[in-house]
Amino acid sequence: MLDFHTAGESHGKGIIVVVNGLPAGLPIDFDMIAGEMTRRRNKAGSGPRMSMEGDEVEILAGIRWAKTLGSPIAGLIRNRDYANWQEVMNPQGKPPSTYEPVTVPRPGHADLAGAVKYRYDDLRNVIERASARETAGRCFAGTLARNFLAPLHIEIGGWVESIGEVKAGSGENFHEKSRRARRSPVATYDAEAETKMLEALEHAGRDGDTLGGTFVVVAFGVMPGLGTHVKWDERLDTRIAGALMGIPAIKGVEVGDGFANSRKRGSEVHDEIIRSSSPSFPFTRRTNRCGGIEGGVSNGETVWARCAMKPIPTLLKGLQSVDLKNGEEKQARYERSDTCAVARALVVAEAMLAWEIARACRVKFSGDSMEEVLDRFKEYRSYLSNYRML
Ligand SMILES: Cc1cc2nc3c(=O)[nH]c(=O)nc-3n(C[C@H](O)[C@H](O)[C@H](O)COP(=O)(O)O)c2cc1C
């Protein structure tokens, strides 16, 4: 089974990622890893902190001569700012004499709830691990997943649909939207909306405020039969929704047009089945409003989901809070922060979609080596292309 763990604090030495369950002999594209790590940090709305974070992944184990060994893969993403935090984040010793613990929790962050839960006397202990810096690790794991999906002809994409009140127009097919979004600083496909989104970001930034938004992630080329209807926690939609919702600041997830569908009649929603002349599977759909998943199983159409991200909770102008030390009313402190992270969250969400699709493929196409995986994949492809009920 494919799984991964991350360890690391935002201003600690770095983020460590350990990935288990990829087969041996999978070629790894290091340019793709570098590209995705860069995409995660270089978008409009990012503050100066971004230029400090060199998201280079150092491979510590599990890959030799650009191919997986089948052993656990370990990657380290060093924090280049660690030198400035060495004393504060030192795993050994004592706090420096001048150190002042953080005691005013920021609304919208894990600060208060985390401190209460773990009985901390310094909110820094929460801030460090709850920070979205950890998503660099998810991005690395997700890019390994993309490498695994490539020989299975599955590709991941996505685009931003809205930032604040500015919405991209409809039109364009999924492939085109995804292709255009890659070139946009706000990761959208609509040039007119892009200009307005950039303006909205500038206005919000000038006011010391922040913005949220929505985006769509897609998996192209997913074969029918990933996930299952027989076990609630292995449904493909269960897994995808959980993985997307687990991204910091993502507060809504819908598979396909989930929320809009709930306001329509069944006849306007469900995707009718028609015969297809495609050599890969003899059926297709007129529409794909369900997001390519029915009963928790992929149905052969593009898998897609939409996420809503809340505005970043750290505000330059500081929200009302209380000092936990003495109960005094105070303004929440400002830690270097972005105006908007929707385009960056999209990159993390694509990584997590890649991860869940790869995980489901690993269940379907088991094996210790890539040869075994591809044998099973080819056998299944031939079964699908000649599909006829027994
Ligand atoms: C890629 C990414 C970057 C983020 N950057 C920031 C940031 O600069 N400042 C901030 O306050 N929150 C940022 N967030 C959101 C917070 O991490 C998140 O809102 C917070 O940890 C509380 O978790 P919750 O919103 O899931 O409840 C970011 C989230 C993501 C996915």
Phi, psi (rounded to 5 degrees) for 292 = 75, 15
Give the span between the Cα atoms of 84 and 93, in whole angstroms.
Answer: 17
Q: Which protein residue's CA is at the shortest distance from atom 9 of ligand 1?
A: 337
209-246 pLDDT, tens per residue? Answer: 999 999 999 999 999 999 999 999 999 999 999 999 99
Q: Could you tell me the residue ranges of all domains in the chain?
A: 3-385
Count helices and strands in the chain by DSSP H and E runs = 13, 17
Q: Is 308 in the pocket of ligand 1 (CB under 6 A)?
A: no
Q: State the pLDDT confidence band at 53, using cuts at 50, 70 and 90.
A: very low
Q: Helix 342-364 crosses helix 135-149 at what angle (to 10 degrees)? A: 50
Question: What is the whole-number distance in angstroms between the Cα of residue 272 and the centre of ligand 1?
Answer: 39
Question: What is the whole-number distance in angstroms between the Cα of residue 12 and the centre of ligand 1?
Answer: 18
Q: Is 344 in the pocket of ligand 1 (CB under 6 A)?
A: yes
Dig out the tokens for 179 from the structure: 């292709």
Query: How many other C-beta atoms lie within 10 A of the C-beta of residue 228?
Result: 18
Q: Which of 102, 101, 77, 94 is nearest to 13 (CA)?
A: 77
Does the structure show a pLDDT above 80 at 178? yes
Query: How many other C-beta atoms lie within 10 A of the C-beta of residue 272?
Result: 9
What is the rounded average pLDDT of the residues 201-213? 95
CB-based contact 224:294 (threshold 8 Å) = no
344 CA: nearest ligand 1 atom: 1
Q: Is 126 in the pocket of ligand 1 (CB under 6 A)?
A: no
247 CA: nearest ligand 1 atom: 31
Q: State the pLDDT confidence band at 52, using cuts at 50, 70 and 90.
A: very low
Beta bridge pairs of residue 18: 5, 74
Give the span between the Cα atoms of 193 and 296, in whole angstroms.
Answer: 34
Q: Where does residue 135 rank: exposed (0-12), middle (13-18), buried (19+ CB within 10 A)?
A: buried
Q: Which of 271, 280, 246, 259 is nearest to 353 (CA)?
A: 246
If one residue of 37, 106, 109 were mutated to test the ligand 1 pocket, choosing by the most ligand atoms within 8 A of its CB, it would be 109
Dig out the tokens for 309 from the structure: 């991200």
343-378 pLDDT, tens per residue? Answer: 999 999 999 999 999 999 999 999 999 999 999 999
Question: What is the whole-number distance in angstroms between the Cα of residue 380 and the centre of ligand 1?
Answer: 41
Q: Is 110 in the pocket of ligand 1 (CB under 6 A)?
A: yes
Q: Is 309 in the pocket of ligand 1 (CB under 6 A)?
A: no
**CATH superfamily assigned to domain 3-385:** Chorismate synthase AroC (3.60.150.10)
Q: Is 314 in the pocket of ligand 1 (CB under 6 A)?
A: yes
Q: Is 312 in the pocket of ligand 1 (CB under 6 A)?
A: yes
Q: Which protein residue's CA is at the shortest distance from atom 1 of ligand 1?
A: 345
Question: What is the whole-number distance in angstroms between the Cα of residue 65 and the centre of ligand 1?
Answer: 36
Give the span between the Cα atoms of 323 and 182, in whole angstroms.
Answer: 43
Across the chain, mean pLDDT equals: 95
Query: Cα angle vertex 220, ends 356, 264, to 5°?
Result: 90
CB-based contact 185:379 (threshold 8 Å) = no
